[in-house]
Structure formats: C-alpha cells, structure tokens
Amino acid sequence: MTHWRMIAGAASLALAGLLAPAAAQSPAAESVEVAPGLRASVVSLKRLPGKPLVQLDYVLENTGDATVDLGDAGLADIQGLSGIGLLDFANETEYRIGTADDCLCSDAPDDNALARGARFEGWAWFSPPATADGKLAVRFGSARPILDVPLE
C-alpha cells in the first residue's frame, strides 16, 4: 500500500468518525506531537488576496525537558523548514512549501534547534490550484496529519 493511500485511508476512517480523538477535536485548537516534546499547532490557513498562494501560520512548542533538533524531527533541512505539507484528499494531492531561491517560509530557529520551553511562530506559502477549497489536512514531518483545517 502506498504512503498516500495509507494517509487517505486513515483520513477516511477519521472522517467517518472511526478515529474519534482526531475527528473530535477542534481544528483551530488541535495540535500534534511531531517528536517527543515537540508540538505543532495550526493557527490559520488562508488564501492571500490577489495571489495564487495559501499561507499557513503555525506554532511549534518545545514542551519537553531538552532542546529539540527540528531536522531530527523531520521539519527542517539545510534549506529551512521544509517538512510541512498540505494534503488535499479531494484531489489526491500533497502540496509542499513553495520555493524561489529559498524556502517561501519562516527562517528556522538558530541551528534548527528549539530550546526547552521555547515557542516558535512560523509561516509558509503554498500554491495549490483554485480547485483546492474547503478543508485540507496539514502534515508536520511524519506526524499524523491534522485533519479538516478550514481553508479561508
């Protein structure tokens, strides 16, 4: 079974109410544990007026007792915070953060590290087609996606 089909299958179960914890939480307040001690939350997902772009605003929080390496958590590489994606189940497409010369996103914290108790507020731009509307899923690294995030 392909990775995409496994994600789509899990989303179908969640949407059907069979995975109640994921479906029962409010999307705006929902967060996901990306790695031990590292939580990611969606603040907003919105189209930019007059631009073919969608902006994701999010927060990363280190709730653990040690510094978290965002590269080890699957969120960052040498180009920045690239391990974040949008999943459009209706169109069976995953959208990655846009790039120009660099990632069209927030610069990662120094050394891709988030100190104990630290909070990082970031943004990223994506360019999904106009047919992507309604609700999308947001994936941080290899953590389970946050489902049903409204696209405003």
In a domain, 3, yes or no: no
The dihedral formed by the CA atoms of 133, 136, 140 and 142, expressed in degrees to the nearest 10: -130
Domain total of the chain:
1
**Can you give the CATH number for the domain in which 102 is found?**
2.60.40
Q: Which helix (H) or strand (E) holds 22?
A: helix 20-24
Structural domain boundaries enclosing 141: 28-150
23 belongs to a structural domain: no
| Torsion of the alpha carbons at 99, 60, 116 and 111, rounded to the nearest 10 | 0
Asked if residue 10 is part of any domain, the answer here is: no
Maximum CA extent, the chain: 44
Q: What is the pLDDT of residue 103?
A: 81
pTM, full prediction: 0.78
CA atoms of 102 and 32, how far apart (whole Å): 26
In-domain check, residue 115: yes
Query: What does each of the 152 residues of the chain score in pLDDT, given as a tens digit?
Result: 444 444 444 444 343 333 333 333 343 448 999 999 999 999 999 999 998 899 999 999 999 999 999 999 999 877 678 899 999 988 888 999 987 777 889 888 888 999 999 999 999 999 876 666 688 999 999 999 999 999 98
E runs forming strands in the chain? 31-35, 38-47, 54-62, 68-69, 84-88, 93-96, 113-114, 119-126, 135-140, 146-150
Which residues have C-beta within 8 Å of that of residue 100, sequence separation ≥ 6?
A: none
Residue at 6 is within a domain: no
77 domain residue, yes or no? yes
Residue 21 within a domain: no
Quote helix, strand, coil % in the chain, to nearest 5. 15, 40, 45
Report residue 96 as tokens: 């990655």
57 in any annotated domain = yes
